[in-house]
Amino acid sequence: MLNSELAARLRMAFDDDRDAETFLLRLKRYGADLQDSLRPLYGEETGTLLGQLLEVMLRAFHARPTDLRRLDEARLLQPDWLQQPGMVGYVAYADRFAGTLRGVGEHLEYLEGLGVTHLHLMPLLKPRPGENDGGYAVADYRAVREDLGNMDDLSDLARALRGRGISLELDLVLNHVAREHEWAERARAGDPKYRAYFHIYPDRTGPDAYERTLPEIFPDFAPGNFTWDEEAQGWVWTTFNAYQWDLNWANPGVFLEFVDLILYLANRGVEVFRLDAIAFLWKRLGTDSQNQPEVHLLTRALRTAARIVAPAVAFKAEAIVAPAQLIHYLGRGAHHGRVSDMAYHNSVMVQLWSSLASRNTRLFEEALRAFPPKPTTTTWGVYVRCHDDIGWAISDEDAARAGLSGEAHRRFLSDFYSGGFPGSFARGLVFQYNPATGDRRISGMGASLAGLEAALEGGDEGRVNDAIDRLLLLHAVILGFGGVPLLYMGDELALLNDYGFADVPEHAPDNRWVHRPCMDWALAGRIEDEPQLPAARVNAGLRHLLRVRREAPHLHASIESRVMPSPDGRVLLLRREHPLGEMVQVYNFSEDSVTLPACSLRNALGERSQDLLSGSAFNLNGGTLHLEPYRALWLVGAE
């Protein structure tokens, strides 16, 4: 892509020779990658697109603030910055955490004290008015929700976070825009340029052909995948909701727009982009129009463009898909390590709750074994809960290998976590029941799903203790698994379900708001003086786990956790083979005391080991290892 003639012309665009050299070196490094990613997508249009991209990238490079340029250089010198054991994410809605962006800035000491290095603020770019899918129907990517502040407030917050070593992450909704977005308004007005940004059909011929193989995402309140728009006089592709118009990424103009948007937001201080609904970008007749090969080319091209202008930026793929598909979002084959820097490990979250309900980890083992190895330069985002529902993404193949019926186990989990199964400790709500498939997803805060809500209602101290132990066990797993653990706002205080969502008209139809409570700052202020509170006990336990994690080099994300055969189905064993020595993690997913033969761990650890979490020493030369209910051990070899 870069030849001497182009290099000479580009140098003329710079006043500073050092800037010119920096840009040209990056273009030389990544230019061919950018070109090779775009050509299969846009064919003969690629040459024109590359010229336009260079203009956009040059403009953004010149506008990049000095402190962010310094961060670019630091990240280039430490390319594994996102893989360090000290990385800890925190996920929150800005308004529910602190009211406004300035309010968030007033609580940075709290985040820093918790050990947070990565703050993901949920959708805050300007959405459509009224119902907006929790902010995922964006009307303007260059503006902030008016109730939260403005773009200068966002830049100020990003700068304050950087000063404390915390990276700001925002959602980038790629698959669709709000019906009220300027592009959609121009499309409805008949502008051919912008009509080509969307999938609009004059009659049902095209939509009906696609619908034969398309699933429904929200069958309860948004059935089908196309919506008739009277103003546009056409059927618009709307995968999620009628007011969210799917973009036509086969149009190079859409790609160019998003490169410009990414670089604009990066220059505002956004360091990590959560690529929302990434799996849906490319449409292909006769398929479910998910996980198409072109999606990975698009992501690779977007990431490469960002690498040239803002190499401090990282991409996180929001791809809640099967393991065989998920690994492609981190890169396989020619894309190895060139797609996203991080991807959600949704399977870990699902298996955590599955093992907790069943008191059995065999399915967890089989699910992890099904994952191919990831590129060593990438990382997982692992979590106990998130803003979304829990869909029981359990494959029939994994279930069969564990001796289960996939359909029956998914039904059991929905029954258990909605409180309908005899003996269930959980308090969750069924979300999006599909009678045609029997699919039922679950909403609920981590503490309520782990039994704390029911235990407090019953006034049973023993059950309260069990619930706290369950919640800490789940967090021990995500902190020990490897990757960036993502703490969901309120889980560090064991906040319960917020049933008040039903009283808010725009939230009432969507019970996922039950696990989107407002931060309880009064409770946060009590935990030091009232250590007996469940919130204080969970917070203290989590802070201890985080302190230990920061000092454990075995948890660098270039190393993957591998399943070890467990002699007891209630116990999950994970092995991490680090150059400094091996680590074996032991997790008891039951309320039972369990005894393991010490010899089951000796081959990995030697005769003596130490638990990093408790400081206890173990002799593995013979005898047994005793595990209390919901006990977690991070064992390393000892002299």
Q: Which residue's structure tokens are 């977005």?
A: 181
Examine the pLDDT at 438 and tell me if it is beyond 90: no
User: What average pLDDT score do residues 343-354 get?
Assistant: 97
Amino acid letter, residue 394 = I
318 is known as an active-site residue: yes
Please tell me the predicted confidence (pLDDT) of residue 229: 97
Asked if residues 479 and 549 have their Cβ atoms less than 8 Å apart, the reply is yes
Q: Which residue's structure tokens are 């010490």?
A: 598
| Range of weakest confidence among 220-224, 267-271, 307-311, 474-478 | 220-224
Please tell me the predicted confidence (pLDDT) of residue 616: 94
In tens, the pLDDT along 542-578 reads 999 999 999 999 999 999 999 999 999 999 999 999 9
In tens, the pLDDT along 370-401 reads 999 999 999 999 999 999 999 999 999 999 99
Which has the closest alpha carbon to 209: 291, 294, 289?
289
Q: What is the DSSP string of 353-402?
A: HHHHHHT--HHHHHHHHTSPPPPTT-EEEEES--SS-B-----HHHHHHT
Please tell me the predicted confidence (pLDDT) of residue 3: 78
Distance from the Cα of residue 542 to its chain's centroid: 20
Tell me which H or E stretch contains 503.
Answer: none
pTM of this prediction exceeds 0.85: yes
Asked if residues 198 and 234 have their Cβ atoms less than 8 Å apart, the reply is no
Distances (CA, A) of 496 to 100, 325, 355, 445: 23, 34, 21, 6
**pLDDT bucket at 219, cuts 50 / 70 / 90:** confident
DSSP letter (8 states) at residue 500? G
Q: Which residue's structure tokens are 């202008």?
A: 309
Handedness of CA 200, 203, 209, 211 (dihedral sign): positive
Please tell me the predicted confidence (pLDDT) of residue 72: 98
Amino acid letter, residue 402 = A
Which has the closest alpha carbon to 310: 69, 620, 14?
69
Please tell me the predicted confidence (pLDDT) of residue 462: 96
State how far the Cα of 91 lies from the Cα of 104, in Å rounded to an integer.
Answer: 12
Please tell me the predicted confidence (pLDDT) of residue 12: 85
State how far the Cα of 596 lies from the Cα of 587, in Å rounded to an integer.
Answer: 12
* pLDDT more than 70, % of the chain: 99
Which has the closest alpha carbon to 275: 195, 348, 381?
381
Token pair listed for 413: 């989990």
Asked if residues 430 and 413 have their Cβ atoms less than 8 Å apart, the reply is no
How large is the C-alpha radius of gyration of the chain? 25
State how far the Cα of 411 lies from the Cα of 361, in Å rounded to an integer.
Answer: 18
Examine the pLDDT at 2 and tell me if it is beyond 80: no
Examine the pLDDT at 259 and tell me if it is beyond 80: yes
Q: Which of 276, 365, 466, 611 is catalytic?
A: 276
In tens, the pLDDT along 9-45 reads 888 888 888 999 999 999 999 999 999 999 999 999 9
Which has the closest alpha carbon to 161: 102, 119, 220, 218?
119
State how far the Cα of 382 lies from the Cα of 484, in Å rounded to an integer.
Answer: 6
276 is known as an active-site residue: yes
State how far the Cα of 33 lies from the Cα of 54, in Å rounded to an integer.
Answer: 14
Examine the pLDDT at 639 and tell me if it is beyond 90: no
Which has the closest alpha carbon to 172: 217, 120, 245?
120
Average pLDDT over all residues of the chain: 95
Distances (CA, A) of 170 to 69, 402, 586: 19, 38, 34
Q: Which residues pair with 246 in a beta bridge?
A: 176
Q: Which of 229, 246, 271, 318 is catalytic?
A: 318
DSSP 3-state assignment of 30? helix
Examine the pLDDT at 432 and tell me if it is beyond 90: no
Please tell me the predicted confidence (pLDDT) of residue 17: 86
Please tell me the predicted confidence (pLDDT) of residue 8: 81
Helices (H) and strands (E) in the chain, counts: 24, 25
DSSP letter (8 states) at residue 60? H
